[in-house]
Structure 1
Amino acid sequence: VVSRRERLSFVEGCGRSISAMHIKQVKISGFRSYRDATISDLSPNHNVIVGRNGSGKSNFLFAIEFVLSDKFSSLSSVRRRELFHEGIGEGATVARVSIVLDNSDRRIVTMILLMTSAGFSLSNPYYVVKQGRINELATSSDATRLRILKEVAGSEMYDTQRMRNLKSLHEASMKGAKIEFLLSSIESRLKMLQKAREDAVEFRKWDRIKRSVEYFIYENHLKEHRKKLTKLDDEREQLREVIDKVEKEMQNTQESSLSLQTEQSELENRISRVIDEKSVLLGEQMQLLEKKTELELRVGDLSKEVEQQQSARKEAQDALMKLDADIDSKQQQLNEIKSEHEALANEMAELNTYIRISDQRCEELYMKQGQTDHYETVEERDNELKKQIRLCERQVAEITDRIAEIERNLQDGEEEVQHLKQQILVVGRRIDECTDETAIVGNKIAHIRDQICQAIIRQQEAVREENNARNEVHVIEMDVVRRDGRLRGVVGKSIMSGVDSVKRILQQFRDSNRNGEYDHILNGYHGLLVDLFEYDDVYVRAIDVAAGNRLFYHVVDDDVIALQILRKVNTEDMMGEVYFFPLNRILAKPSKKIADQDGRPLIDALRYDGLFDALFRKVFGQMAVVRNLEAALRIMKSEGVSCVTFDGDQVRRGGMMSGGYLDVNRSRLGVYLVHKKLLKRKDDVEELLKNATLKVQEIMTDVDNLRMKEVALEQKAAALKDELDIGLRKKYEMSQQLRLVVDSKEPKMALYMTQKNRVREMEANKENLEKQLGTPFLSQLTAEERELLQNLQRVDDISLLEKRNNLQAEIAEMESLSHRISEIAAKVIELDEELAAYEESKRMESVGLEEYQEHQNELELRRVELLKKVDRIYMKRFDLLARVEEDLRKMRNVYPLPLHSKEYENCSLKELNGKLSEALNHLREYKVVNEAAVYQYEEANALWEEVKKNFDQNRADLKAIDDALKVLDQRKYDAIELTFRQVSKEFRLVFQKLVPGGRGSIVMRVRRTDSKRSVRPNAHRVEAFVGLSVKVSFAETADIRDVQILSGGQKTVVSLALIFAIHKIDRSPFYIFDEVDAALDAQYRQALADMIHELSKRSQFITTTFRPELIASADKCYIVNFRDKESRIEAVTEERAYGFVERTHVGH
Structure 2
Amino acid sequence: MRIKKIEIEGFKSYSQREVVDYLDAEFNAITGLNGSGKSNILDSICFLLGITNLAQVRVHSFNELVYKQGQAGISRATVTITFDNDVPPDKQPAGYSKYKEIVVRRQIIINGKNTYQINGISATNQRVSDMFRQGRITKVLNMKPMEILSMVEEAAGVRMYECKKQSALRTIDKKECRFNEISRLIDEEINPKVIRLKKERANYLEYKEIERTLELLTRKMVAYDYYNSKLQIKDSEKRAAEFEQEADKIGDDIGELSTQIEAEQLNLKALGEAKAKNMGPEMTKLENELKERQNVQAKADSEKDEKESNLSELRKAIDRKQKSLESDKNDLTMKRRQLEQAESEIGDEEHRGKSAEEALARARQKLEALAKGMTTDDEGNAVTLEAQLTATRTQLSEHQTNVKKAEMRLGQLNKTLSKKRNELQQISRRSGTQHDNKQKLEAEIAQLQQRLRDLNYEPELENRLEQERTQLANERTKCAQELDRFEARNYKLRFDYTTPYNGFDRSKVKGVVAKLFKMCEAKYATALEVVAGGRLFNIVIDQVKTGEALLRAGLPRRVTMIPLDKTSATVLDQRQIGQAKRMVGEDSVFFPKELINYEREIELAILSIFGNCLICVDMDQAKQLTFDKNVHCRTVTLSGEDFKPSGVLTGGFRRPDASILLALNEISGQYERIREIDHRIGATERELARLKPLRQQYDQLNGQLIVQQKRLDAVNEELKNTPAEVIRGEIARLEDEVAEANAIIEKLQPEIDNLTKRVKELEGRKTNEGAFRENEKRTAQNELANAQKELEQLKGTFSSIKESLAGLREEIGALENSIKEDEHEIEQMNARIDAMRREIGLYNEIVMGNKDKVKQAQQELEMYNKELRSQEKQIRTKTTEIEELKKRVRQLEAKFESKRRDGEEAAKNATEFAKRMQQLEKTHSWIAEEKQRFGVDGSAYDFRDYSYEIGKRELDERKARTKELLRTVNPKAMDSLGTAENELNELLNKRQQLEKDKKQLYDAIEQLDEKKRTELLTAHKKITADFSSIYSTLLPGASAELVPPSGAQNCLAGLEVRVAFNGKNKDSLAELSGGQRSLVALSLILAMLKFKPAPFYILDEIDAALDISHTENIGKMIKNHFSESQFIVVSLKQGFFDNANVVYRVNFRDGRSVVTRTENRHT
Q: What's the TM-score once normalised by structure 1's chain length?
A: 0.30
Which structure: larger Rg?
A: 1
Q: What's the TM-score once normalised by structure 2's chain length?
A: 0.29
